[in-house]
Structure formats: structure tokens, C-alpha cells
């Protein structure tokens, strides 16, 4: 009974929409109006019915649960969507886009590595923001990602703020401010996150809670897709050898900003570096998927992208290093879907055939 009184008390605080002006506007009009009196009476009756229906809906909502509206993201903790099922051990997170439009809805989702249903982890209903570039923490318990308003200009270039959430999509926390960050990458012990700032003009490291942000490199003026080596001693990234962003290469740098070196030739566009779990190899993309030793030697392509395939990119290793998940741009460039490459056989299988626009996949690591 006390619970019922509480719910009626909530109902008392619900604001009823002010529609009486609309009713008055539908009242009797001068004869010069084209609307016949009968139509006016019908319109008034319809509005009255709508008012009654709105009242009933408000009552049901108040008696059935909270009516508090969601708030916009703020620094620190933010409201979480209804939790999806807990991702399986082999979950691959990725960014699912509604289309290739610059203002398209983008959400974080996951799919089992063996195939199955795609499950959304963030939704556009959460204040109408877009979310992308998810990365698992080393123990598979958290996901870092980038989020920004759909209408924000920097979203078109991939910038936003970096957030982190639990593996089930709960406890979303904002780690940066300014809508100028992208491409987060966890350190192997989970204590730090590397990312790029201001359209990639600086390479930055911060603590995993967003504190102690400091720039470790900015001389190149262009940094993208940092990836931390499993031993924590190096960060691989994509940049331009001569500041001509039409040509890119893979570089490595120490976390303190020293010993900056190039690993690949600048004669072709190479990017999206990904360390193998044991740190001995780096996968990357340059039209096809390539793998090289961690010192840049023995580079060889492992996929054969031919029309209607346009580009293979964004590789991520399986925990046992036996496979790569990646994005294949296909259908003459009209779609981007996830595929898995089995390294032992070279077999490629489609993972998300029903998804037309997918990006930045990451394979859930095995708990340490």
C-alpha cells in the first residue's frame, strides 16, 4: 500500500502538457473560415480524446516506473543505456553505422567471433550522440571508445571525447573534455590510454581515469591509430614520412616520446597497426592486410583484395594469434563489412554479412 501511495505521489508531480491553447484554437470560428462547423466539433473531440489518452499514458508510466528524463553527458559518470547481454568471451566489438553519410548514426556493437546476432551496446537514444572506435581493456572488462554529438563538426573527422564503459555497456564514464580526441589504445597493464588529439596533431597519454594527460609527440603534425606493444615498451602508430598525408607509414615510439622510428616504406599508404599478442609481429593495412616482424622485416600481404573488394583495413588479432578480424570495403566501395582471416589456411569468412557499414573491430582478449 505504501508503494501505491508513493506511485500516486509521483503521478502528482508529472507535468501535464498544456494543450488548452490548441483546443481554443479549434473552437468556433467566424463564418468566413473554410472549415465547416461539423469538422470543428470533430477536431475538438479528437483533441479531447488525445488529452485523455495522454493522461492515461502518464499515469501508467508513473505507476510502472521512473519518469525521470535522461540528462546530457557530463564529465565523469554518465547515464548508461539498458544493459545488453554480457558479451561472450570471444566477442568482437565494432562501430556499426547506419550509412556512409557524414551525419549517420554510429553505435558500438558486438558479435561473437563464431558468428551470430549483432548486439548494440550504445544507442542513438542516449542523447542522440554517436559512438565509435571501441577498444577492449587488456583484461576484457572495460571498453574505451569515442563519442560525440551527431551534429558536432569534429565528428566528421572522427574526433570527440574518450569514454570508457564496462563490458556489458554499463557505467559509462567520460575521460576527456573538448571533443578533440580519438583512437584510444590501452597500455598492456590497463593503467594508461594513448590517443591522438586535435585531428591527430599530437600523440597523448593519460591515466585510465582520464587524469595526467600529457603530449609525448607532436613534431610530425599527424598521428593516427596508436597501438601499444604487449610489453608496454613501444607504441606503434600511423603517420606521414614527410608530412604529406596522402602517403603514410607505420612508426614506433617509446611511451616517453623518445626513439621515434619508421618501420614501413613511405612509398605506399600503410596504417592501422596492430600488435600480435606476443609482440613479435605487427599487422597493418596497405590496400591488402599485411604482417611484418616487429622490427619491420619480412613484410608480406595476407589477403588478396580484388574487385568488388576495394580495401582491407583495421586488423585486430585473435587472442591466440591464429586469426585476424578486419574491415573489407566492398561492393565497389558501397559497403564496409567485418571478415575473419584464418592465418594458417588463408581462408576468409564473412562475420557480418547483414551489416552494411561496420568499422574499427577489436577482439576481446583472454583474461590475464
Query: Cβ contacts of residue 351 below 8 Å, gap of 6+?
Result: 92, 111, 113, 115, 325, 337, 338, 339, 340
Quickly count: other Cβ atoms within 10 Å of residue 322's Cβ: 12
CA-to-CA dists, residue 197 to 148, 171, 219, 292, angstroms: 14, 24, 13, 28
120 contacts 96 by C-beta, under 8 angstroms: yes
- Do both 231 and 352 map to the same domain? yes
Position 12 pLDDT exceeds 50 = no
Residue closest to 106 by CA, chosen among 93, 94, 97, 115: 97
Position 60 pLDDT exceeds 50 = no
| 174 domain residue, yes or no | yes
| 137 domain residue, yes or no | yes
Give the integer Cα–Cα distance in Å for 167 and 110: 10
- Do both 85 and 55 map to the same domain? no
End position of a domain, from candidates 64, 89, 105: 64
| 72 domain residue, yes or no | no
CATH label of the domain that carries residue 317: 2.120.10.30
Can you give the pLDDT at residue 157? 56
| 349 domain residue, yes or no | yes
| 73 domain residue, yes or no | no
pTM of whole model > 0.75? yes
- The fraction of the chain above a pLDDT of 90, given in percent, is 59
- Total residues found in the chain within this entry: 368
Query: What's the whole-number average pLDDT of the chain?
Result: 80
Give the integer Cα–Cα distance in Å for 342 and 325: 9
What domain count does the chain have?
2
Domain of residue 28: give its range. Answer: 2-64
Give the integer Cα–Cα distance in Å for 205 and 226: 10
Q: How does pLDDT run across 62-101, given as a tens digit for each residue?
A: 333 333 323 334 434 444 445 567 899 999 999 998 877 7
Give the integer Cα–Cα distance in Å for 52 and 48: 6
- Do both 148 and 294 map to the same domain? yes
Amino acid at each position: 500500500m505504501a508503494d501505491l501511495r508513493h506511485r500516486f505521489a509521483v503521478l502528482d508531480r508529472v507535468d501535464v502538457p498544456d494543450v488548452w491553447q490548441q483546443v481554443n484554437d479549434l473552437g468556433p470560428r467566424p463564418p468566413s473560415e473554410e472549415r465547416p462547423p461539423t469538422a470543428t466539433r470533430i477536431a475538438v473531440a479528437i483533441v479531447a480524446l488525445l488529452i485523455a489518452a495522454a493522461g492515461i499514458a502518464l499515469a501508467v508510466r508513473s505507476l510502472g516506473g521512473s519518469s525521470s528524463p535522461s540528462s546530457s553527458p557530463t564529465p565523469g559518470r554518465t547515464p548508461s543505456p539498458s544493459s545488453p547481454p554480457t558479451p561472450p568471451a570471444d566477442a568482437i566489438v565494432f562501430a556499426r553505422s547506419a550509412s556512409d553519410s557524414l551525419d549517420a548514426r554510429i553505435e558500438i556493437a558486438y558479435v561473437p567471433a563464431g558468428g551470430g546476432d549483432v548486439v548494440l551496446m550504445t544507442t542513438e537514444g542516449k542523447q542522440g550522440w554517436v559512438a565509435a572506435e571501441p577498444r577492449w581493456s587488456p583484461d576484457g572488462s572495460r571498453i574505451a571508445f569515442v563519442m560525440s554529438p551527431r551534429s558536432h563538426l569534429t565528428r566528421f573527422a572522427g574526433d570527440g571525447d574518450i569514454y570508457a564503459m564496462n563490458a556489458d555497456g554499463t557505467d559509462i564514464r567520460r575521460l576527456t573534455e573538448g571533443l578533440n580526441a580519438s583512437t584510444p589504445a590501452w597500455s598492456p597493464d590497463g593503467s594508461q590510454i594513448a590517443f591522438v588529439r586535435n585531428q591527430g596533431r599530437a600523440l597523448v597519454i593519460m591515466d585510465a581515469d582520464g587524469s595526467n594527460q600529457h603530449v609525448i609527440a607532436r613534431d610530425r603534425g599527424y598521428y593516427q591509430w596508436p597501438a601499444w606493444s604487449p610489453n608496454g615498451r613501444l607504441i606503434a602508430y600511423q603517420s606521414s614520412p614527410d608530412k604529406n598525408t596522402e602517403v603514410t607509414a607505420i612508426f614506433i615510439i617509446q611511451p616517453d616520446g623518445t626513439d621515434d622510428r619508421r618501420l614501413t616504406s613511405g612509398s605506399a599508404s600503410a596504417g592501422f597497426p596492430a600488435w600480435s599478442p606476443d609482440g613479435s609481429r605487427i599487422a597493418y593495412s596497405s590496400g591488402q592486410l599485411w604482417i611484418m616482424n616487429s622490427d619491420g622485416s619480412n613484410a608480406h600481404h595476407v589477403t588478396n583484395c580484388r574487385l568488388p573488394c576495394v580495401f582491407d583495413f583495421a586488423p585486430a588479432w585473435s587472442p591466440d594469434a591464429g586469426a585476424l578480424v578486419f574491415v573489407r570495403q566492398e561492393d565497389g566501395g558501397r559497403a564496409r563489412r567485418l571478415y575473419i582471416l584464418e592465418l594458417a589456411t588463408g581462408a576468409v569468412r564473412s562475420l557480418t554479412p547483414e551489416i552494411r557499414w561496420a568499422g574499427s573491430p577489436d577482439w576481446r582478449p583472454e583474461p590475464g
